[in-house]
Each structure stands twice: as C-alpha cells, then as structure tokens.
A and B are shown apart, each in its own frame.
Chain A
Amino acid sequence: DGGITQSPKYLFRKEGQNVTLSCEQNLNHDAMYWYRQDPGQGLRLIYYSQIVNDFQKGDIAEGYSVSREKKESFPLTVTSAQKNPTAFYLCASSREVDEKLFFGSGTQLSVL
C-alpha cells in the first residue's frame, strides 16, 4: 500500500544533542512537508520541498534542518539550537504543492 512512513514513533533527545526524524513516501509525490503540532495549537510549517535538492523555510524553521536528496525521503534534523523541541512532528506529502496533503503517523519527540 502507498503511504508515508515516519520513524521512530517516539524519540527522546538529550540536551545539546541533534536528532533526526525519518520520513519516507512511496506515493511518487513531488512535494513534502514537515509540520510541528503542539497541544492547543494549529499545525505549524517547519520546512517544505517542492522538488529534489530544493527546500524552503516555513514559519518556524529556526533550530531545524532538512535535506531532499531523493524524491522519496525528507529527513528532519532537530538541532541543539531548538530550545523547545518537545512536540508531535508530522511529515506530509502532496502530488503538487497546492493539492491536499497526505500525512504520516507522526513522531513524538521529548526532551530527557
């Protein structure tokens, strides 16, 4: 079945540590996205990519980095510069940037 796979489901970060969240899709979608979800708030866009080897900052990109070396993969690194990383992270994809999003099952990141 086609879909988006995020891993791990749960992740713990120590202070000063960088961690990477994985996102893989087999939908053959060009556009991929990373959102952050905090309780009581709407989803906020971190980064998005419309094509391989290209990506743009979203509304809250500080403290995060991404790469898009393959069409299927869009990993997100939460760096030590992100001082409040605890959140539910969602990866999404769409056929084109203005079409409906398909979401993965999310990664819950917590700080030890």
Chain B
Amino acid sequence: EDQVTQSPEALRLQEGESSSLNCSYTVSGLRGLFWYRQDPGKGPEFLFTLYSAGEEKEKERLKATLTKKESFLHITAPKPEDSATYLCAVQSWGYGNKLVFGAGTILRVKS
C-alpha cells in the first residue's frame, strides 16, 4: 500500500529564514510526485510534479527535489504570503493512477 508522510506537521519561520519541508513516501513504483499549496478554506493549488530521482523544479522562492525515498520542498527567504499548508502526493503505476496524499505541513511565516 502506498504511503506518504510529511514532516514537520507545522513550521514557523521568520521572514527571510530559509528552510525545507520533507515528504517521505513508499510506493510500489513511482509514476509521479506532486506538491500542492492550500490556503485556509480553499482548494489545493498545483505547484510541481517530479518524476524521477535527481529531478528538481523551481518556482519563485520554492524549489522541489526528489530522491528514491523522499522529496524536499525548499523555501528560500520566505515571505508572509508563503504561509499555507503544503501537500505532497504520490502516484504509483500499480494503484490505478490514483493519488495518495500526505497530511500536509502547515507553514507560518512571520514578518
């Protein structure tokens, strides 16, 4: 059974204080790993898809990386508007193409 564990559950940063969020996964065969951002009371918004170990993608202050067992979402010099819940999800070849989500990391950035 595919599993996704995100850590930490919550993270508080000062504005400009860089850090990383972790997504550890267990899948029979990884088809893709997805990162989403979710603001309170709203639906998740797509950020990145990673397909193979060693792959990296960037968007503004966010950079996602992938290894065979985990993915990191690096946040460089965060701003208060980066505050949100960040969700990780995996899609495996052997699970009918369905996504399995982690519980998310709640990020708060203080000015």
Which residues does chain A contribute within 8 Å of B89, judged by CB atoms? 42-43
Which residues does chain B contribute within 8 Å of A106, judged by CB atoms? 41-43
Asked whether A97 lies within 8 Å of B97 as measured between CB atoms, the reply is yes
Interface of B is mostly: strand
B75 contacts chain A at the CB level, 8 A cutoff: no
Asked whether A100 lies within 8 Å of B34 as measured between CB atoms, the reply is yes
Interface string of A74-89 (1 = CB under 8 A from B): 0000000000000000
Which of A43, A48, A104 has the largest count of B CB atoms less than 10 A from its CB?
A43
Contacting residues of chain B (34-63) with chain A, CB-CB under 8 angstroms: 34, 36, 41-46, 49
Report how many residues on chain A are interfacial, defined by Cβ distance under 8 Å: 24
Asked whether A42 lies within 8 Å of B98 as measured between CB atoms, the reply is no
Which of A35, A41, A58, A101 has the largest count of B CB atoms less than 10 A from its CB?
A101
CB distance from B39 to the nearest CB of A (A): 10
Contacting residues of chain B (46-103) with chain A, CB-CB under 8 angstroms: 46, 49, 87, 89, 91, 96-103
> What is the interface of chain B, defined by CB distance below 8 A to chain A?
4, 9, 31-32, 34, 36, 41-46, 49, 87, 89, 91, 96-104
Which residues does chain A contribute within 8 Å of B46, judged by CB atoms? 100-102
Which residues does chain A contribute within 8 Å of B49, judged by CB atoms? 100
Measured CB to CB, the nearest residue on chain B to A92 is B43
Asked whether A40 lies within 8 Å of B103 as measured between CB atoms, the reply is yes
A64 contacts chain B at the CB level, 8 A cutoff: no
From known contacts A42-B87, A42-B103, infer whether A104 and B43 are also in contact, taking CB-CB under 8 Å.
yes
A67 contacts chain B at the CB level, 8 A cutoff: no
Asked whether A48 lies within 8 Å of B98 as measured between CB atoms, the reply is yes
Q: How far does the alpha carbon of A82 sit from the alpha carbon of B96 in the complex, in Å?
A: 25
Asked whether A58 lies within 8 Å of B98 as measured between CB atoms, the reply is yes
Which residues does chain A contribute within 8 Å of B101, judged by CB atoms? 35, 42-44
CB distance from B54 to the nearest CB of A (A): 21
Q: How far does the alpha carbon of A105 sit from the alpha carbon of B39 in the complex, in Å?
A: 10
From known contacts A42-B4, A45-B98, A105-B42, infer whether A98 and B103 are also in contact, taking CB-CB under 8 Å.
no
